[in-house]
Amino acid sequence: MKISIIGTGYVGLVTGTCFAEGGHKVICVDCDAEKVELLKAGGIPIYEPGLEEMIKRNVGGGRLSFTTSTKEGVEKSDVIFIAVPTPPLPDGAVDLSFIEGVARDIASAMTSYKIVVDKSTVPVRTGEKVVETIKRYCKARVEFDVVSNPEFLREGFAVEDFMRPDRIVVGVASPRPVQAMKEVYAPYNAPIIVTDINSAELIKHAANSFLALKISYINAISVLCEATGANVQEVANGIGMDARIGRRFLDAGLGFGGSCFPKDLSAFIKIAEQIGYDFRLLKEVQRINGEQMERFIKKIADTLWVLKEKKIGILGLAFKQNTDDVRLSPAIDLCQRLQKEGALLRVHDPKAMEKAKGVLQDVTFVADMDLVADGCDALVVATEWPEFKKLDLERARKVLTHPILFDGRNMFDPKELERLGFIYKSIGR
């Protein structure tokens, strides 16, 4: 298949590269000329395990190319994927200006039948607007189909998720594009759910909101565990073994963050409001998520008493492991809140240091995780990087002013830390 991807962010770049890996001929389009030149030169603007090697392999094989020209992407492809940002507006609704702009550009460049696929996360009924826009601006008056094909990629595991998906959702208004979409996804051996466009758009927001609900639920349970002396990990294991529930997304911590869950949750609440339904359940999910960070900071303040001029080491800046993405990262939020209280921070992240420098000021960035604790009054684990389990705890205990460790991701064994002489505070244990 000849495919173009409009937008080369996390979703677009992974999608285009994995399509090329599946044997398709792919053109990735982006308006950022600097990014396109970087990709052409063999660089990569994001960190995603396995992606850089896959890009080089498919560029070398002639299956993957990059351009700033939407016209070129449209002319050279049969299926056009829209993968541009859909950022939140101040009221929680979704800014669809990028979607509208790309739809206009596609319409202007179309001279023959095309399948236009919404890959971006959009509110229900966006597909109808894309159809209207293309009809309005397509001077050639050619036939086309609009398809909704939501992505279900986890940052840090996006390549794996794309190549081995749980399911592929294809929302259509007519049967005409179905066979072509099946051919696009034929290399990935996953069940394809064909539905109407509105249902496909709702599936994405409903799925992410449900996963956010699971995280807030276990975080609420962690409060009960701390109050009663129970262990939230044992509770999560016990309920997660129920096949109706499942263990994934039941890890207590600092709350969810990143560019998807907070945005999609707010958008879904706003979508429901516009339709006339008050989605109070999801509002409570938001409230619990916000309270989790406040509770953790109070735990630090109660232990250290005065935070002003206290030196605190922070392990982790990305919003989760295996990514350099710091957008709406709980770890960044934690740093900024501690700074407001006058704390002095030494920070480290295996991959997100450079991007964090754009949002954090007046902190000391430390290249070696084992040196973060030097001269600090406490150490905090803020992101669940597996590397942190290899931290030299004996050294940390010696170089800390006080052997205090706050574990916001429950990475260490409380009994082991206490045996080593630490004052250890985790979540729900």
The answer to whether 134 touches 144, Cβ cutoff 8 Å, is yes
Q: Which residues of 238-269 are buried (b: 16+ CB within 10 A; e: fewer)?
A: ebbeeeeeeeebbbbbbbbbbbbbbbbbbbbb
- What gap in Å lies between CA 403 and CA 399, rounded to an integer? 8
- 277's CB contacts (< 8 A; 6+ apart) are none
- What gap in Å lies between CA 144 and CA 78, rounded to an integer? 10
Cα within 13 Å of Cα(293), Cβ side: 19
Which of helix, strand or coil describes residue 21?
helix
Q: How far is CA 347 from the centre of its chain?
A: 22
Q: Rounded to the nearest 10 degrees, how much is the dihedral formed by the CA atoms of 293, 296, 302, 307?
A: -60
- What gap in Å lies between CA 421 and CA 415, rounded to an integer? 10
- Inter-axis angle of helices 197-228 and 261-275, nearest 10: 120
Long-range pairs, 236-241, Cβ under 8 A, ≥24: none
- What gap in Å lies between CA 107 and CA 400, rounded to an integer? 61
Check 18, 260, 335, 376 and give the catalytic one: 260
Which residue reads 């505070």 in tokens? 425
CA dist list (Å): 290 to 254, 262, 270, 283, 297:
9, 11, 18, 11, 12
Strand partners, 195: 171
- What gap in Å lies between CA 52 and CA 42, rounded to an integer? 8
Dihedral sign of CA atoms 24, 25, 31, 32 in order: positive
Whether 260 is catalytic: yes
Cα within 13 Å of Cα(82), Cβ side: 29
Closest by alpha carbon to 148, among 131, 132, 165?
131
How many CB atoms neighbour CB 316 within 10 A? 32
- What gap in Å lies between CA 89 and CA 92, rounded to an integer? 5
User: What amino acid positions are annotated as catalytic residues?
Assistant: 260
